[in-house]
Structure 1
């Protein structure tokens, strides 16, 4: 049984990003094994995120924008993003870029295998995949599944179905994506559509929900068709690609470092923001910090301040408002985007604001439902 310096269990976005950052660090010559059951050779997802300046994947971005459009209950129009840009990265471009980079390093092995077990041992992190044993100084695990059913936690889902459509008519503004369009029947949930234009006749149109149950495939498709028919003057159109996804929106406590030789990354390590489901950019930021710590100290432990835990409380409060239907979600997000500058919003969601900025954000929210949610969150935390 060969021992590696690092095993990356799960070769999705988090695992591949980690491998890439390792190659960009002083640890680039370490032996690395990447295990995943799938081959990443198709465009299975799209990541959209905001960012200041140029990021690690700037060269392979599919599109980026300086403004976005928003349709809410009392506010409609374009939002100037200031020093931020809204960026779109296609899964296939990401996979091909990472694979090209990893192929430069003979010390990196990739094996297609189903991971059966991961456990801590005195000798290191131990992995069994397709009944073959592997061991490493550190195992980075993105395969661990959250329970998502504990009553003391808030457990919602962000789920979506998207169509890339090619239209007969010019009906998209390539310079102005639709960040959130709430002109769809809410049915007691948080439901919206976003539209990412590729050109005047091509766009990704995605129907997204925040709630605690999945729909039938026909329901997602009916919502997409109804939105296109009602709000887009397409003429005839064809569906070129389909993407679906389910992202947990949960404040279930996660352990990034459950043991000495195992580190959880991605959603498994709490890198998904509970209140929004945003994962890509947050995962990138955390992984870079983990690699920096590993290079500097020999241990992959991120340092966090106790005061940063206030954002976990904020997440739980918003999840409680959504879960308990304390206020219409479309109005909440309208207030959020209409009454705050986009730069403040993005800093807040990235957990980079100062406390006074957070007070200014809270002041734009309806106080009664959030106060009720706060006390319910505290009750759950104290009494379960």
Structure 2
């Protein structure tokens, strides 16, 4: 049974990002095995995120913008995002870039196999695959599934379907993506469209829903067609690419370090922000902290301010409670947040870069009645769990 310093179980965004940061660190000479069941050779997803300055993946950012458009209940128009840039990264570009970087390091291996079992042992983290067993000092696992059915938690889904379309007429403003467009039937949920323009005639148009139940495939497509017909003067269009995804939005407790030799990363480790489903930038930040700590102390746990973490998780639970029980229109909630605050402050808030007092000021701009009821319900549920 071959032994490695590190095994990365799952070669998606989190696993490849971790390998990338390890390859740029003082630990680049350690033996690393990455295992994934898929070759990651197709454009299966798109990540959008905001960022100040130049990030680690700047060479492969597909598009970026200094202004975004928002269409809400009482405000529509451009948002001044200050020093932030709204960036788009295609999955295929990410996979190819990371793999090219890793290929230059002889101590890093990538194997395509099904992972059957991950277990902690006194000798290290044990991984059984469809090809062979392996063992390592640490296993970084992004494959562990959340339960998403705990009765006193809030378990919702962010699900989306998008088309890259090529239009007959030039109808897209290449300088202004639509970040959130709520001018569609909400059906009691949080539903919006966004548009990421590639050029005047090509864009990704994506339909996104926050709720508990996936739709039948024709329902996503009907909503996309209806929006395109109503709000875009295309002159006709062709669909060149399709993407679909589901992201858990859950305040289910996660364990980043369930045992001595296993560390959970990505959604498995709680890297997805429960109230929004935002994952990409949060994952990058957490993994960089993890690698720095591993360099400095030999331990892969990232440093955490427990009190601040509890406060942020409580905020997430409150917003999920409002969503789950439909206490107020989420289109109106997001409109108030962006209309009554500086958009750059909302980005900092969602990135968890704000102080408690800044959070309280921002949260004072949402409908206080429904959110107070939600906060009381969250506290009640937590007391019942105790």
Question: TM-score higher than 0.5 here?
Answer: yes
Distance 2:205 2:265 in 1: 29
Aligned residue runs from structure 1 range 200-279, under 5 A: 200-279=200-279
- Cα deviation digits, residues 207-234 of structure 1 (max 9, x gap): 0000000000000000000000000000
Matched residue, 2:375: 374
Q: Is the 8 A contact 1:116 1:131 kept in 2?
A: no
Conserved 8 A contact 1:61-1:87 = yes
Q: For each residue in 1:96-149, what CA deviation from the matched residue of structure 2 results, as whole angstroms up to 9, or x when unmatched?
A: 100100100111111110000001000100000105211000000000000000
Contact kept? 2:113, 2:131, Cα under 8 Å: no
The question of 1:361 aligning with 2:362 is answered: yes
Counting matched residue pairs gives 384
Which residue is 1:105 aligned to?
105
In structure 2, what is the Cα distance between the partners aligned to 1:126 and 1:99?
A: 24
- SS of the equivalent of 1:69 reads strand
Q: Which consecutive residues of structure 2, in runs of 5 or more, have no partner in the other structure?
A: none
- Bigger mean CA deviation after superposition, 300-309 or 196-205: 300-309
Q: Which ranges of structure 1 fall in alignment gaps of 5 or more residues?
A: none
Q: Answer yes or no: is the 8 Å Cα contact 1:289–1:302 preserved in 2.
A: yes
Structure 2 equivalent of residue 80 of structure 1? 80
Q: Give the SS at the match of 1:11.
A: coil
Shift of 1:306: 2.2
> What's the CA shift string for 1:308-328, capped at 9, x where partnerless?
221000000000000010001
* 2:341 maps to 1:340: yes
> Deviation string for 1:26-47 (max 9, x for gaps)?
0000000000000011100000
In 2, the alpha carbon distance for the partners of 1:70 and 1:106 equals 47
Which residue number corresponds to residue 186 of structure 2? 186
- Cα distance in 1 for residues equivalent to 2:143 and 2:227: 35
TM (norm. structure 2) is 0.99
Give the Cα–Cα distance (whole angstroms) in 2 for the partners of residues 122 and 54 of structure 1. 42
Q: Distance in 2 between matches of 1:340 and 1:62?
A: 29
Root mean square deviation, CA, Å: 0.7
Q: Secondary structure at the match of 2:357?
A: helix
1:273-321 deviation digits (Å, cap 9, x = unpaired): 0000000000000000000111110010111112322100000000000
1:68-97 superposed Cα distances (whole Å, 9 cap, x missing partner)? 000000000000110111000000100110
TM score, norm. by length of structure 1: 0.99
What CA deviation, in whole Å up to 9, does each residue of 1:195-251 have, x standing for no partner?
000000000000000000000000000000000000000011000000000000000
1:247-326 superposed matches below 5 A: 247-309=247-309, 310-326=311-327
Distance 2:134 2:233 in 1: 56
Per the alignment, residue 176 of structure 1 pairs with 176
Q: State the SS of the aligned residue for 2:186.
A: coil
